[in-house]
Amino acid sequence: MNRQEAHTFLGRHVLINEGRSGSYVGTLLDIESPAGSPWKGRVRIEGIVEAPDFNELLTGLEPLSYEKGEEVYLPGRAVQPWHDSFELSYRQSLGASLKERWDQASEAAAQAEEKRRVLQMELRKWQMEHLLSEDAYVYYDIVQKRRTLYIYDSLKEESLTLEGCPFEFELKVQNRWEPVYYSEGRRFVTPDGEEYTAGEGDKVRLNKEQFDPYKMLLNELETPAVKALERGLSKLKASHENCMHCHNSLLVKLLGSFEQQSFQGVNFITYETPEGTLMVQHHYERDMYDDRPDRTFDRFEFTLDDGTRMITSYSTPLSNDSGKEL
């Protein structure tokens, strides 16, 4: 805006556009207009019109340029007219602009999903749909070093011992993939109890979805423990699909349980529901035995952001599966 127009906006709202760091509304408080030099304006920041954009790594948003009530001196070229009303607080305007970013991302996700559907139909028409499922898996060779069985990723040149591995594998048997769990030695067992013996160089694969910390946690829990978790979620109008973040320390301790036979800890799981934010603290204890069934204990403490609390638990060998609301 030129200096003549700027004088008409004194005491009124103006717009400051900071590009990827967002757009802001402020009140033009004063003008410095020395002869022969570009004019400057003193602006008090009132709110946000457009939230900062994502940073280049998509790990967060660009930082806010200005804080609430901050007074800044800006060159005239950075100050633009604002002709609309602005009645929101700084916090409210930030929330509204972030919600707009959310809506834009949701629309983009819906469009991307529609594109995926069209591409899947095209692959199906050309009988090449199997390529999609292959991308969802990580493939391993079975190798044995001394008496220990490993799976080996030849692409990453990484190996993982199978002893105590909680994943559901698929073992290639006569040109078909059979879902199996590792048992012991060279034996794998299907969910129906059928056994297969793997040989050196045989192939197994893992669905990448199992690397999700939440899914890995659910796979490790015994069925009654999962039901105890689901019971609490249901009472608080939540489900597995509402999980936003899962801190899974249990898996790390399980994979290191060869040296440690007893351990305990806490996982933290966050859910976003129509009722608000739900935090679950999963307290667990494990005692690993060679000559009898392992002892497990799982307690789930649910807390909604309105203060509602609940506890459900499961333990062995008593199988005391109980839940109560506090």
The pLDDT tens digits along the chain (326 residues) read: 898 999 999 999 999 999 999 999 999 999 998 888 899 999 999 999 999 999 887 788 999 999 999 999 999 999 999 999 999 999 999 999 999 999 999 999 889 889 988 888 888 788 776 667 666 788 888 888 777 788 888 777 777 778 767 678 898 888 888 899 888 888 899 988 889 888 777 888 888 776 778 888 888 888 899 999 999 999 999 999 888 888 887 766 555 444 557 788 899 999 988 778 999 999 999 887 777 777 899 999 999 999 999 999 998 864 344 444 44
Q: Which helix (H) or strand (E) holds 304?
A: strand 295-304
Residue matched to tokens 């609490």 = 232
| Burial of residue 60 (number of CB atoms within 10 Å: 0-12, 13-18, 19+) | exposed
Which distant-in-sequence residues (6+ apart) come within 8 Å of 216 by Cβ? 166, 167, 210, 248, 251
CA distance 214 to 110: 24
Q: Tell me, what's the pLDDT at 326?
A: 42
CA distance 94 to 101: 11
Q: Tell me, what's the pLDDT at 258?
A: 45
